[in-house]
Structure 1
Amino acid sequence: MSFRKVVRQSKFRHVFGQPVKNDQCYEDIRVSRVTWDSTFCAVNPKFLAVIVEASGGGAFLVLPLSKTGRIDKAYPTVCGHTGPVLDIDWCPHNDEVIASGSEDCTVMVWQIPENGLASPLTEPVVVLEGHTKRVGIVTWHPTARNVLLSAGCDNVVLIWNVGTAEELYRLDSLHPDLIYNVSWSRNGSLFCSACKDKSVRIIDPRRGTLVAERERAHEGARPMRAIFLADGKVFTTGFSRMSERQLALWDPENLEEPMALQELDSSNGALLPFYDPDTSMVYVCGKGDSSIRYFEITDEPPYIHFLNTFTSKEPQRGMGSMPKRGLEVSKCEIARFYKLHERKCEPIVMTVPRKSDLFQDDLYPDTAGPEAALEAEEWVSGRDANPILISLREAYVPSKQRDLKVSRRNVLSDSRPAAAPSSARPGASTSTASAHTAAPIGSLTGAGEAGKLEEVMQELRALRALVKEQGERIGRLEEQLGRVENGDA
């Protein structure tokens, strides 16, 4: 037998997890008891959000990261839903915007004040209505601004442009059963999903087509999860026929057999995977477990390499993961989790021990920053882009956030290209748009029709260019104003 696996070289072999001291925990939080396999927790470099128990509706708590210690029972919540909140997700391009999905069948998008909540927040920036059953999944597009995906117990996936409050794509025929989770690819051109019918699917949302499907990815009846890795492979967690918990790695080009399949144990909690594309590490947390296992994914067999386990005494009710730009690079922190107990939230810091105080280039390659690579309209038109990367060498300094503004624009000014017939929304908005746009074209009959049409198109292009230019100018002025307010100028 070769000892290669035992002594495999990796800078992450000695990663260790450590809970923070008690005074840095968030105490007296009544974590939601709703029976749904979401993480119940979302975190970014400014705020911690936790779904909590609420009478007569649904609510979640949003705390500035510095607000540790005991949280007063009267602390204001985000409480606009009429049914329990099932999932929350921070916008990757604006640290003050969060989306929530609820049993009341709606998706709501909220703007959190810069310094946190001073009073209960009941008015969302926008309400997105399109599901007929409870909404259990909300997840933002990784690179396009204001694009949000939601999935409900009606087995429908909807993709929204939050900036205009419109439904971009309705995918209602690809999942025959309950959707357990959805994960975008690195550039957001595809997403993968895990479904109750035991299938893992890779879907092109703009075409509304199934790119690849693996039936019975895990044989067991309990919930599965599927996530995209940065290189396009798919990592899944699930259960075997004998109820053993499993991990698997799949190549989308050939889903016949997994590249790797590992059995973990026979606990019954769903395994929630958290992926770090910078280090190619996957952290696996079981709901109801008291441990976090972590693995490194490589290009060499056996592909999934077990590194270590962080174990504590208390079982976890949910878990949040800090984006890389929110970590303390000076302490060689490569991940930070926010573990939900029954009545508190406990940060757990993952560190690589290093003797040097210098910046560790190998631990911190450039990572996804908060700037969107595309506008929603560009993504809809067929463009793709990888995340815009930032260096952590100077330690991340947050930029001034701009408020989310929703403009419910008239269809005449809608520059969105028509979607493929299979994926376009069959509802009223499409027919309205065609009726509105058909009228002016129909009236341009007679002599010089083509010339007039070209004239109108030229004017429209000039107006669009002007609007774009003015938008950029407003952005620059806002930035200048922010610098003046902060005393930087």
Structure 2
Amino acid sequence: MTFAKMSWQPQYRSSKYRHVFGKPANKENCYDNVPITRSVHDNHFCAVNPSFIAVVTECAGGGAFIVIPIQQSGKLDPHYPKICGHRGNVLDIKWNPFDDYVIASCSEDASVKIWDIPKPYVTKSITNARKELVGHSRRVGLIEWHPTASNIIFSTAYDYKIMIWNIDNEEPIIYSPVRTIECHKDVILSMSFNLDGSLMATSCKDRKVRVIDPLKGCIIQESDGKTHKASKVLFLGNMKKLVSTGTSRWNNRQVVLWDQDDLSVPLHQEDLDGSSGLLFPFFDNDTDMLYLVGKVSLYVSTSHYITAYVL
């Protein structure tokens, strides 16, 4: 009797990128006929949670966004209900990380609004917000929920201020923030929290990256901004590192890795290309993968070194 020798070695190529490559979905699984806004400047025009996708849309006479259930795909009805309570263009939207049915929006009308999304989904247009946060003197460009403290939201506007709000207050309109951080001398372009919310990083139009203590409202670390003009900044999970995207002094698109405890010198920096489109960083804590999304291509890198891949 003869026995064949069998190999139990895996028959696939071992690669840390094996499960990160994707392919476009079929048309029936896509969202079609969505009137995406052209007025969000350099912000995200959409936000997603496990239940819904929210998209800022074009709207005459004010600002609006729509909320679509994740399971509902295909062509969108032209008369789909909207969330339309702002008097100016909506510039940013963010879902509450503690409640899938609460979303915040900010606008050129200098306000932040908190909206309750009816269950199981929106069936008619909503014009009345649960809360309106009024305190900024100029248009509000960015909002971020605190990652560990429920009902705490941060907003930043073109008045160079970061305001911290507690929406547990029962008043429908809140005029006074819990705290105001005034350590920037120009427009804030992005905000990011570390995992426990004890630190906040910002990038500013003055080219600098800053690490801030949100409780004390003081700057802990600050880059010099001489060789790297930062547009977006992001904490890399629990690695105690930051990544920023922007441009070099020669106007090449650039990605830079920082030690959060020392912003005097970058750990690594790399020029990617000469395109003018902004790069948006996204970090996956589960796989330690950093995704840089641009207008032309998608770059993928690990937390240890930076490599560009066009998908």
Q: Structure 1 stretch 160-169 or stretch 96-105: which is displaced more? A: 160-169
Counterpart in 1 of 2:236? 229
**Pairing partner for 2:284 from 265, 276, 288:** 276
Query: Does the aligned pair in 1 maintain the 2:40–2:92 contact within 8 Å?
Result: no
**What are the Cα deviations for residues 400-452 of structure 1, in whole angstroms up to 9, with x where unaligned?**
xxxxxxxxxxxxxxxxxxxxxxxxxxxxxxxxxxxxxxxxxxxxxxxxxxxxx
Query: Does the aligned pair in 1 maintain the 2:199–2:213 contact within 8 Å?
Result: yes
Return closer, same or farther for 1:281/1:218 CA change in 2, 3 Å cut-off.
farther
Distance between the aligned counterparts of 1:162 and 1:34, measured in 2?
27
Equivalent position amino acid for 2:78 in 1 = K
- In terms of fraction of residues, the more strand-rich structure is 2
Counterpart in 2 of 1:389? none
Return closer, same or farther for 1:116/1:217 CA change in 2, 3 Å cut-off.
farther
**Pairing partner for 1:98 from 91, 100, 103:** 103
Instruction: Indicate yes or no: 2:159 matched with 1:154.
Output: yes
Return closer, same or farther for 1:109/1:243 CA change in 2, 3 Å cut-off.
same
**What are the Cα deviations for residues 60-116 of structure 1, in whole angstroms up to 9, with x where unaligned?**
010001121111111100000000000000111111110001000000010101221
**What are the Cα deviations for residues 282-327 of structure 1, in whole angstroms up to 9, with x where unaligned?**
11111x32x2211110xxxxx22427332xxxxxxxxxxxxxxxxx
Counterpart in 2 of 1:309? 310
**Pairing partner for 1:82 from 75, 80, 87:** 87
Following TM superposition, by how much is the alpha carbon of 1:39 offset from its aligned partner in structure 2, in angstroms? 1.0
Counterpart in 1 of 2:302? 296
Q: Given the two structures, how large is their TM-score scaled by the length of structure 1? A: 0.58
Return closer, same or farther for 1:17/1:121 CA change in 2, 3 Å cut-off.
same
Counterpart in 1 of 2:6? none
Q: Given the two structures, how large is their TM-score scaled by the length of structure 2? A: 0.90
What is the percentage of aligned positions where both structures have the same residue?
40
Which runs of 4 or more aligned residues in structure 1 lie more than 6 Å from their structure 2 counterparts after TM superposition? none
Query: Does the aligned pair in 1 maintain the 2:222–2:264 contact within 8 Å?
Result: no
Q: Secondary structure at the match of 1:224?
A: strand
Counterpart in 1 of 2:261? 253
Instruction: Indicate yes or no: 2:211 matched with 1:205.
Output: no
Counterpart in 2 of 1:16? 21
Distance between the aligned counterparts of 1:144 and 1:46, measured in 2?
21
Equivalent position amino acid for 2:225 in 1 = R
Q: Secondary structure at the match of 2:28?
A: helix
Counterpart in 2 of 1:170? 180
1:261-272 equivalences under 5 Å are 261-272=269-280
Query: Does the aligned pair in 2 maintain the 1:13–1:308 contact within 8 Å?
Result: no
Return closer, same or farther for 1:232/1:66 CA change in 2, 3 Å cut-off.
same
Q: Structure 2: which 5+ runs fail to align?
A: 1-13
Distance between the aligned counterparts of 1:108 and 1:276, measured in 2?
28
Counterpart in 1 of 2:3? none
Query: Does the aligned pair in 2 maintain the 1:218–1:238 contact within 8 Å?
Result: no
Query: Does the aligned pair in 1 maintain the 2:138–2:159 contact within 8 Å?
Result: yes
Distance between the aligned counterparts of 1:103 and 1:225, measured in 2?
21
Following TM superposition, by how much is the alpha carbon of 1:218 offset from its aligned partner in structure 2, in angstroms? 4.7
Equivalent position amino acid for 1:236 in 2 = S
Q: Structure 1: which 5+ runs fail to align?
A: 1-8, 298-302, 311-489
Counterpart in 2 of 1:55? 60
Q: Which has the higher contact order (CA 8 A, sep 6+)?
A: 1
Distance between the aligned counterparts of 2:136 and 2:287, measured in 1?
37
Counterpart in 1 of 2:48? 43
Return closer, same or farther for 1:157/1:120 CA change in 2, 3 Å cut-off.
same
Distance between the aligned counterparts of 1:217 and 1:188, measured in 2?
28
Return closer, same or farther for 1:100/1:128 CA change in 2, 3 Å cut-off.
same
Counterpart in 2 of 1:195? 204
Distance between the aligned counterparts of 1:284 and 1:157, measured in 2?
26
1:335-484 equivalences under 5 Å are none
**Pairing partner for 2:193 from 184, 189, 212:** 184
Equivalent position amino acid for 2:213 in 1 = D
Distance between the aligned counterparts of 1:254 and 1:144, measured in 2?
27
Return closer, same or farther for 1:73/1:194 CA change in 2, 3 Å cut-off.
same
Counterpart in 2 of 1:129? 134
Larger radius of gyration: 1
- How many pairs are equivalent? 292
Distance between the aligned counterparts of 2:226 and 2:220, measured in 1?
16
Distance between the aligned counterparts of 1:110 and 1:14, measured in 2?
36
Distance between the aligned counterparts of 1:30 and 1:201, measured in 2?
36
Counterpart in 1 of 2:4? none
Instruction: Indicate yes or no: 2:43 matched with 1:26.
Output: no
Distance between the aligned counterparts of 2:264 and 2:95, measured in 1?
35
Distance between the aligned counterparts of 1:62 and 1:98, measured in 2?
10
Pairwise CA RMSD of aligned residues? Answer: 1.5
Distance between the aligned counterparts of 1:236 and 1:198, measured in 2?
11
